Structure 1
Amino acid sequence: MTGTRCTIIPGYLLARIAEAEPELAPAVQFTLQDALHTRGRREVVATRWPGGQPPGQGGFLPPTMPLHREPAAPEQAGPPRTVVPEGAAPRRSVYDADGATTLPGRLVRGEGDPATEDVAVTEAYDGLGATWELLARSYGRDSLDGNGLVLVATVHYGQDYDNAFWDGRQMVFGDGDGVYFTRFTASLDVIAHELGHGLVQYTSGLTYVGQPGALNESVCDVIGSLVRQRVLGHDAGSADWLIGADLLTDRVQGVALRSMAAPGTAYDDPALGADPQPAHMDDYVDLPHDADNDNGGVHINSGIPNKAFHLFATELGGPAWERAGQVWFDTLATRGRIARDVDFATFAAATLVSARERYADAPEVVEALLGAWDGVGIAVS
Structure 2
Amino acid sequence: MSRTRHLHCIIPPHLLEKLLGSDDSEMRQVALNTLMTTARLRGERTVRASFAGVATLGNGRRTVFDCRHSTRLPSAVLVRSEDGPESADPSVDHAFDGLGLTRDFYRTVFNRDSIDGDGMRLDAFVHFGEAYNNAFWDGQEMVFGDGDGKLFSDFTGSTDVIGHELSHGVTENTAGLKYHNQSGALNESMSDVFGSLVKQWSLKQSVDDADWLIGPDIFTPGIDADALRSMKAPGHAYDNDLFGKDPQPDHMEHFVKLPDTERGDLGGVHINSGIPNKAFYLAATRIGGFAWEAPGLIWYESLKASNADTQFQEFANTTYRKAAELFGDESPEQLAVLAAWQDVGIQISGILAGVARARSLAADRNGGAGPDKVLTTVSQQIGALAAQVTGLAKDVTALKSR
Q: TM-score range by the shorter chain?
A: 0.7 to 0.9
Confirm whether residue 9 of structure 1 aligns to residue 11 of structure 2.
yes
Would the aligned equivalents of 1:2 and 1:208 in 2 still touch at CA under 8 Å? no
Counterpart check, 1:102 vs 2:93: no
Asked if the contact 1:99–1:156 (Cα under 8 Å) also holds between the matched residues in 2, the reply is: yes
Q: Secondary structure at the match of 1:130?
A: helix
Report the equivalent of 2:138: 167
Name which of 26, 30, 36 aligns with 2:29: 26
Q: What are the Cα deviations for residues 182-216 of structure 1, in whole angstroms up to 9, with x where unaligned?
A: 01011110011000111111111111110001000
Query: Contact 2:7–2:137 (CA<8 Å) still a contact in 1?
Result: yes
Name the counterpart of 2:39.
36
Report whether the alignment pairs 1:65 with 2:56.
yes
Tell me which of 212, 216, 220 is aligned to 1:249. Answer: 220
Between 23-32 and 286-295, report the one with greater CA deviation: 23-32
Q: Which amino acid aligns with 1:198?
A: G
User: Radius of gyration: which is bigger?
Assistant: 2
Superimposed CA distance per residue, residues 298-332 of structure 1 (whole angstroms, 9 cap, x where no aligned partner): 11100000000000101111110011000111111
Evaluate the alpha carbon distance shift between residue 212 and residue 64 of structure 1 in structure 2; reply closer, same or farther with a 3 A threshold.
closer
1:264-279 map, 5 Å: 264-279=235-250
Find 1:204's aligned residue among 172, 175, 199: 175
Partner of residue 346, structure 1: 314
Cα drift, residue 57 of structure 1: 6.6
- 1:48 aligns to what? none
Query: Could you tell me which residue of structure 1 aligns to residue 101 of structure 2?
Result: 130
1:157 aligns with 2:128: yes
- Structure 1 unaligned segments of length 5 or more: list them: 46-55, 70-88
Q: 2:327 aligns with which of 359, 368, 376?
A: 359
Equivalences for 1:272-291 in 2 at 5 Å? Answer: 272-291=243-262
Q: Which residue of 2 aligns with 1:50?
A: none
Structure 2 unmatched runs, 5+ = 350-402
Indicate if the aligned counterparts of 1:3 and 1:40 stay in contact, CA closer than 8 A: no
Name the SS of the counterpart of 2:195 in structure 1. Answer: helix
* 189, 204, 208: which one aligns with 1:233: 204
In the TM superposition, residue 362 of structure 1 has moved relative to its aligned partner by 7.3
> SS where residue 338 of structure 1 aligns?
coil
Mapped contact 2:6–2:139 kept (Cα < 8 A): no
Answer with 341-350 or 305-314: which moved more. Answer: 341-350
**Contact 1:97 1:103 (8 Å CA) reproduced:** yes
Structure 2 counterpart of 1:92, from 62, 67, 76: 62
- Aligned residues, how many? 345
TM-score (norm 2): 0.83
CA shift, 1:26, in A, is 2.6
What do residues 52-82 of structure 1 show as CA deviations (whole Å, max 9, x unaligned)?
xxxx7732x435623xx4xxxxxxxxxxxxx
Q: Distance in 1 between matches of 2:55 and 2:92?
A: 22
Q: Distance in 2 between matches of 1:328 and 1:276?
A: 24
- Give the direction of change, closer, same or farther, for the CA distance of 1:44–1:97 in structure 2 (3 Å limit): closer
Say whether the 8 Å CA contact 2:110–2:297 is kept in structure 1.
yes
Q: Secondary structure at the match of 2:263?
A: helix
> Contact 1:264 / 1:277 at 8 angstroms: preserved in 2?
yes
What's the CA shift for 1:24? 2.4
**Please, which moves more after superposition, 247-256 or 366-375?**
247-256
CA distance in 2 between counterparts of 1:243 and 1:369 reads 22
Shift of the 361–342 alpha-carbon distance from structure 1 to 2, 3 Å rule, reads closer
**How far did 1:25 drift?**
2.4
Aligned equivalents of 2:283, 2:254: Cα separation in 1: 20
Shift of 1:128: 0.4
Mapped contact 1:166–1:195 kept (Cα < 8 A): yes
User: Which amino acid in the other structure matches residue 212 of structure 1?
Assistant: S
Task: Please give the root-mean-square deviation of Cα atoms over the aligned residues, in Å.
Answer: 1.7
1:11-66, Cα deviation, whole Å (9 max, x unpaired):
1101112321321223221211222212255x779xxxxxxxxxx7732x435623
Provide the rounded CA distance (Å) in 2 between the counterparts of 1:140 and 1:57: 30
TM-score, normalised to structure 1, is 0.87
After TM superposition, give the deviation of residue 361 of structure 1 in Å.
Answer: 7.0
TM-superposed CA distance for 1:268, in Å, is 0.6
2 CA distance for matches of 1:147 and 1:250?
A: 40
